[in-house]
Amino acid sequence: MTSLQSKPQKIDFFFDIMCPWAYQTSIWIREVRSQIDLEINWRFFSLEEINREEGKKHPWERDRAYGWTPLRIAAWLRRIDSDLCDDWYLAAAKALHEDGLRPYEEATARELLASISAPANAWDEALADQTTHDDVRRDHEESVSKFSAFGVPLIVFENGRSVFGPVVVPPPRGEEAMKLWQLMNDYSEINGLYEIKTPKTNKDLENIAAVFSPYIKAREWRTVQTPAP
């Protein structure tokens, strides 16, 4: 095991703004980035598409979609500046998962976009531009076809290894964040290792439910989860 604190690194981080687990992990990875030279390439994954029930419309076939619409905005912003995409993910996910707001609603989205100094026409342009569908679909389909993704967070390391997780509530900070980063890098280098999981006690579930409470109150969709392979 070698120290990673001085070595420049790059990862792909697949997310859906809808996902409370991915949001927690994104807070952790930003904490890691604040301590080391780490480039995060934000990529898109659609829970609406992966969990779509037979006979239902694809998210790109709807005028508005809970997760897909904010991802289209992220795609449009990413073309301009990756930092804007980063800022939008943080602002929109915080609004949903901490403040109980709905970033897929126009008024809320416009306020959030203004708060990150995005172009004033971001909402209109992102949704008028049909190719933002293509950007989101391209990332999503790559995650499924190349990495067998079934959910997020999904991190792809420079060695090409993809890892679902880490699933952390609350996200570790400071030294603990770096310990987890080292662990994840080591994990990614061990061939044949597919899963390490801590069973959740009733107390754990209560604590997680408390953290997720704003999201649970704000969501307007029924949760459908595709089983992990």
Using 50, 70 and 90 to split pLDDT, how confident is the model at 133? very high
Answer whether residue 223 is part of any domain: no
214 confidence band (pLDDT: 50, 70, 90)? very high
Instruction: Assess if residue 4 is contained within a domain.
Output: no
Mean pLDDT on 109-131:
98
1 pLDDT band (50/70/90 cuts)?
very low
How many domains does one find in the chain? 1
Domain holding 77, by residue range, is 9-218
Q: What is the mean pLDDT of residues 8-12?
A: 96
Domain assignment present for residue 226? The answer is no
Cβ–Cβ < 8 Å for 56, 113: no
Q: Is residue 227 part of a domain?
A: no
Residue 109 lies in a domain: yes
What stretches of 6-130 show up as alpha helix (H) in DSSP?
Answer: 20-33, 47-50, 68-80, 82-97, 106-115, 122-128
CA distance 117 to 96: 19
Q: For the whole model, what pTM was predicted?
A: 0.93
In a domain, 224, yes or no: no
Q: Are 145 and 137 a contacting pair, CB within 8 Å?
A: no
Please give the Cα distance from 81 to 71 (Å, whole number): 15
Q: Which of 41, 46, 47 is CA-nearest to residue 29?
A: 41
Distances (CA, A) of 151 to 144, 155, 159: 9, 11, 21
Q: How many residues does the chain have?
A: 229
Residues 6+ apart with CB under 8 A from 27: 171
DSSP helix/strand/coil, 42: strand
Task: For residue 39, name the pLDDT band (cuts at 50, 70, 90).
Answer: very high
- Find the CATH number of the domain harbouring 115: 3.40.30.10
pLDDT in tens, 47-82: 999 999 999 999 999 989 999 999 999 999 999 999
Please indicate, yes or no, if residue 204 is contained in any of the structural domains: yes
